[in-house]
Amino acid sequence: VVSPLYIAEIAPAEQRGRLAGLFQFNIVFGIVAAFGSNAALSLLGPDAWRWMLGVVAIPSLVYTVLCLSLPESPRWLITRRGDRETAIQVLRQIQPLASDEALDAKAEEIASSAVPRQAAGGFWSAGLRKPITMAFLIAFFNQVSGINAVLYFAPRIFELTGLGTHAAMLTSIGIGFTNLVFTFTGLWLIDRLGRRALLTLGSFGYIVSLGLTAWAFFTGHFSIVPACIFLFIAAHAIGSGTVIWVFISEIFPNQHRASGQALGSGTHWVFAALITTFFPTMMKQSSPGWVFSFFCGMMVVQLLWVRFAMPETKGTVLEDVQAGLH
């Protein structure tokens, strides 16, 4: 919840997508690093799992210590604390070459965007209907693509195509590297092409890969399934995987950004839990082709939403994004 929110509030508008997207890239990088770490630690014998869990304490401790040096966001300081002086000091750290006049103007811009809580009507108000709906939908579509089900059950999916257990495990490791490479590609593109362009590209990739996977399970052409799953992972990484946390962190007013980010994250993980809980049963009770057809159909709906209802936020100051959604 906090990381993409904080990055969005301190990043320059023209680089906000890339910087906020680093949150997702670091998650993916951590997953790949965990693959490598676990592979190395597995050589320690039957108690290796203890080391696999315990070694995480090292980067966690480093992260905790580094967090102690982080300043508060200037937007939070102005809109929630009314501490303009400290906010300008933080802005000076972010933009060391900016003049005092430019920093004062930025602080005034942030302050003028703030609406008193009584006047705003709280988080669940008509004025926030658009960003609340968009945060819910982008998180909802992220999960009904089937991404977490595929990530969690990739070895089982590959086994259904006839791959042996060992080959299936190796292929699932390849998914981690594919995710990393295309997440990095998404970071490179997000402030060049924009959020809508990446989601559109990702949606087409979803539809093609999921549609072909469904066809393969219906017709028995299992040999194409691994390639389709890799295409699916690439489409997710360059599209929704890169965009979701950036977009949610941009669309809410300063006073309500934390609540909006929590809504998006909560929606994301509730549907992740539901999809991954019922996915094995769905695969058993019906043909896998129908399961992947459902995911494919939902991505067609996502594409229509992106093309006709989603605003572009690339290069726009957060306060201007806020004004455009009210």
Residues contacting residue 293 through CB under 8 Å, at least 6 positions apart = 210, 211, 214
Q: What angle do CA 26, 268, 188 make, to 5 degrees?
A: 35
- The predicted model scores a pTM of 0.87
| CA contacts within 13 A on the Cβ side of 237 | 26
Buried b / exposed e across 44-80, counting CB within 10 Å, b at 16+?
eeeeeeeebeeeeeeeeeeeeeeeeeeebbbbbbbbe
Q: Write the single-letter amino acid at 41.
A: L
Average pLDDT rounded to a whole number, residues 138-155: 93
Average pLDDT rounded to a whole number, residues 24-40: 86
Average pLDDT rounded to a whole number, residues 108-124: 73
pLDDT band of residue 118 (cuts 50, 70, 90) is: very low
pLDDT band of residue 13 (cuts 50, 70, 90) is: confident
Joined together, the tokens standing for residue 169 give 């495990």
| Per-residue pLDDT tens over the stretch 265-320 | 999 999 999 999 999 999 989 889 999 999 999 999 999 999 999 999 999 999 88
Q: What is the pLDDT of residue 260?
A: 94
Q: What is the pLDDT of residue 165?
A: 59
Q: Write the single-letter amino acid at 205.
A: G
Contact call for residues 302 and 210 (beta carbons, < 8 A):
no
Question: Domain residues of the chain, as ranges?
Answer: 74-114, 127-324
What CATH superfamily classification does 127-324 receive?
A: MFS general substrate transporter like domains (1.20.1250.20)
Q: What is the pLDDT of residue 266?
A: 96
Q: Over 50: is that where the pLDDT of 35 sits?
A: yes
CA–CA distance from 184 to each of 8, 117, 187, 194, 239 (Å)? 18, 39, 5, 15, 11
Nearest to 3 by CA among 235, 257, 233: 257
Q: Over 60: is that where the pLDDT of 120 sits?
A: no
pLDDT band of residue 168 (cuts 50, 70, 90) is: low
| Per-residue pLDDT tens over the stretch 209-264 | 999 999 999 999 999 998 999 999 999 999 999 999 999 999 998 889 999 999 99
Q: Over 90: is that where the pLDDT of 190 sits?
A: yes
Q: What is the pLDDT of residue 137?
A: 97
Q: What is the pLDDT of residue 116?
A: 57
Average pLDDT rounded to a whole number, residues 137-145: 97
| CA contacts within 13 A on the Cβ side of 8 | 30
Q: Over 90: is that where the pLDDT of 40 sits?
A: no
Joined together, the tokens standing for residue 130 give 């658009």
Share of the chain above pLDDT 70, in %: 95
Phi and psi at 324, nearest 5°, equal -70, -15
Nearest to 42 by CA among 55, 23, 60, 25: 55
Q: What is the pLDDT of residue 162?
A: 81
Share of the chain above pLDDT 90, in %: 67
